[in-house]
Amino acid sequence: MTDYLSTGTLPEEYQQLALTVRDFTQQVVAPVSAKHDAERSFPYEVVKGMGDMGLFGLPFSEEFGGMGGNYFTLCLALEELAKVDQSVAMTLEAGVSLGAMPIYRFGTQEQKERYLPELVAGQALAGFGLTEPGCGSDAGGTRTTAVRDGDEWVINGSKQFITNSGTDITKLVTVTAVTGQRDGKKEISTIIVPSGTTGFVVEPPYHKLGWHASDTHPLAFTDCRVPQENLLGDEGRGYANFLRILDEGRIAIAAVSVGVAQGCVDECVRYAGEREAFGKTIGSYQAIAFKIARMEARAHAARAAYYDAAALMLSGKPFKKAAAVAKLVAGEAAMDNSRDATQVFGGMGFMNETVVARHYRDSKILEIGEGTTEVQLMLIGRELGL
Q: Do both 268 and 170 map to the same domain?
A: no
Q: Do both 17 and 117 map to the same domain?
A: yes
Are residues 225 and 152 in contact, defined by beta-carbon separation less than 8 angstroms?
Answer: yes
Instruction: Report the percent of the chain where pLDDT is more than 70.
Output: 97
| Beta pairing, strands 170-182 & 125-129 | parallel
Non-local CB neighbours of 156 within 8 Å, separated by 6+ positions? 144, 145, 221, 222, 223, 224
Angle at alpha carbon of residue 359, lines to 167 and 271, rounded to 5°: 135
Give yes or no for residue 27 having a pLDDT over 50.
Answer: yes
123 burial class (0-12, 13-18, 19+ CB within 10 angstroms)?
A: middle
CATH number at residue 140: 2.40.110.10
Q: Do both 59 and 134 map to the same domain?
A: no
pTM (two decimals): 0.95
Q: What is the DSSP letter of 70?
A: -
CATH number at residue 29: 1.10.540.10
Q: Do both 366 and 246 map to the same domain?
A: yes
Residue type, position 330, single letter:
A
Q: Do both 222 and 300 map to the same domain?
A: no
Last residue of a domain, one of 208, 236, 264: 236
Q: Do both 272 and 205 map to the same domain?
A: no
- The pLDDT tens digits for 44-80 are 999 999 999 999 999 999 999 999 999 999 999 999 9
Q: Do both 94 and 9 map to the same domain?
A: yes
Angle at alpha carbon of residue 317, lines to 313 and 323, rounded to 5°: 45
Q: Which helix (H) or strand (E) covers residue 299, if one does?
A: helix 286-314
User: How many CA atoms lie less than 13 Å away from 165 in the CB half-sphere?
Assistant: 29
Distance CA 31, CA 47 (A): 14
Q: Do both 292 and 308 map to the same domain?
A: yes
Are residues 253 and 366 in contact, defined by beta-carbon separation less than 8 angstroms?
Answer: yes
Residue type, position 342, single letter:
T
Q: Do both 232 and 244 map to the same domain?
A: no
- In this structure, the chain runs to a length of 386
Predicted confidence at residue 4, as pLDDT, reads 46
For residue 148, the SS3 value is strand
Nearest to 91 by CA among 76, 104, 105, 81: 81
pLDDT bin (cut points 50, 70, 90) of residue 135 is: confident
Distance CA 323, CA 306 (A): 7
For residue 11, the SS3 value is coil
Give yes or no for residue 230 having a pLDDT over 50.
Answer: yes
- The pLDDT tens digits for 260-287 are 999 999 999 999 999 999 999 999 999 9
Give yes or no for residue 140 having a pLDDT over 90.
Answer: no
Q: Do both 88 and 210 map to the same domain?
A: no
For residue 327, the SS3 value is helix
Give yes or no for residue 19 having a pLDDT over 80.
Answer: yes
Distance CA 153, CA 168 (A): 25
Q: Do both 69 and 202 map to the same domain?
A: no
3-state secondary structure string across 31-52: HHHHHHHHHCCCCHHHHHHHHH
Distance CA 239, CA 187 (A): 8
Are residues 164 and 225 in contact, defined by beta-carbon separation less than 8 angstroms?
Answer: no
Domain with 300 in it: 240-383
Averaged pLDDT of the chain: 95
Predicted confidence at residue 283, as pLDDT, reads 98
Last residue of a domain, one of 92, 125, 158: 125
Nearest to 50 by CA among 88, 100, 103: 88
DSSP string, 318-331: --HHHHHHHHHHHH
Predicted confidence at residue 6, as pLDDT, reads 39
- Catalytic residue positions, numbered: 370
Predicted confidence at residue 171, as pLDDT, reads 98
Average pLDDT over residues 313-332: 97
Are residues 201 and 189 in contact, defined by beta-carbon separation less than 8 angstroms?
Answer: no
Distance CA 106, CA 121 (A): 19
- Give the total number of structural domains in the chain: 3
Predicted confidence at residue 141, as pLDDT, reads 82
Predicted confidence at residue 7, as pLDDT, reads 41
CATH number at residue 301: 1.20.140.10
Q: Do both 258 and 175 map to the same domain?
A: no
DSSP string, 341-373: HHHHHGGGGGSTTSHHHHHHHHGGGGGTTTS-H
Last residue of a domain, one of 209, 236, 263: 236
Predicted confidence at residue 242, as pLDDT, reads 87
Distance CA 12, CA 55 (A): 18
For residue 18, the SS3 value is helix
Predicted confidence at residue 139, as pLDDT, reads 67
Predicted confidence at residue 290, as pLDDT, reads 98
